[in-house]
Amino acid sequence: MAAVKLPLLGDFPGLRVVVTGASSGIGRESALAFAAAGARVALMARRRPLLEEVAEDIGSRGGEALVVAADVGREREVAAAFRHVHAAFGGVDVVVNNAGLLLPARCDELRAVDLARMLRVNLFGALFVMQHAVRIMRAQAEGGSIVNVASLAGRRGVSPIGGYCATKFALVGLTEALRTELYGSPIHVGLVMPGVTDTPMVQGFSAHEALDGLWPAALTMPTAWVVWAILAAVRFRLVEISVPPGAATLEKLAALVPGLADSVVHWAAEATRTMSELFADGTSADTEPETP
């Protein structure tokens, strides 16, 4: 897979970057993009074989990558991973806090064990990564940058991903609190809020029977849009970026009239299902079997 090229954001020569969830999706593409821009990238995720593939891809392009297998939901593993990165790179300039887990279910059917699994990765994992990154960055005169990848689902709850929304709401609050704690310091804390993006997680999400027709594939964003937002947050030390731009602002406005927003969400979901069904019917009706 080709690395994302973002010439308008310039290069990041020698920047020491840690990317969590780097084995696939947004994390993988972010790692490739930073490496292509000259950064030294530490790849953190649970699946070492996949990380080694990403590292090999980066190396084949002349970049430098360090494989650091760790489960972000286990604080001891996160601590060991950051010690490894610090020993190898001599510090950490950027952390892309991207690891995430989505287990769809209606709220009245959501299992506590599944919510706990999502919280362990999406919230506690993000917290552990932030804490260890801050400890290193506080000792650096130049500070650093932490970019948390949350979701537009962290501003507006929708079904059947209520549990996932809850974890992302919590991550948004945690990020905003850390930002106020570090105000005036050289440590920047940014928040990237993507909508539905073309990643393995979303592809698995779309295959779930409860979500059939909920979101048209044609409206799914390319990963490059989110990667651009992450690099822009680092380059310009931006506090919050929604992808697509303006989406989070609309959600904040919707919070002023939640009843109306509920109606709009319900109507949009029903309209999407209807359009998806019509499109599917039309496609099948227009498709003829191939003859020998």
Instruction: Give catalytic residues, as residue numbers.
Output: 164
Using omega within 30 degrees of 0 as the cis cutoff, is the peptide bond preceding 292 cis?
A: no
Q: How many C-beta neighbours within 10 Å does residue 52 have?
A: 15
Burial (Cβ within 10 Å: 0-12, 13-18, ≥19) of residue 158: middle
Taken as a whole, the chain contains a residue count of 292
CB distance 16 to 40 below 8 Å: yes
- By the 8 A CB rule, do 173 and 122 touch? no
- Angle between helix 75-89 and 126-138 (nearest 10): 40
Among 249, 122, 240, residue whose Cα is nearest residue 189: 240
Neighbours of 109 (CB within 10 A): 10
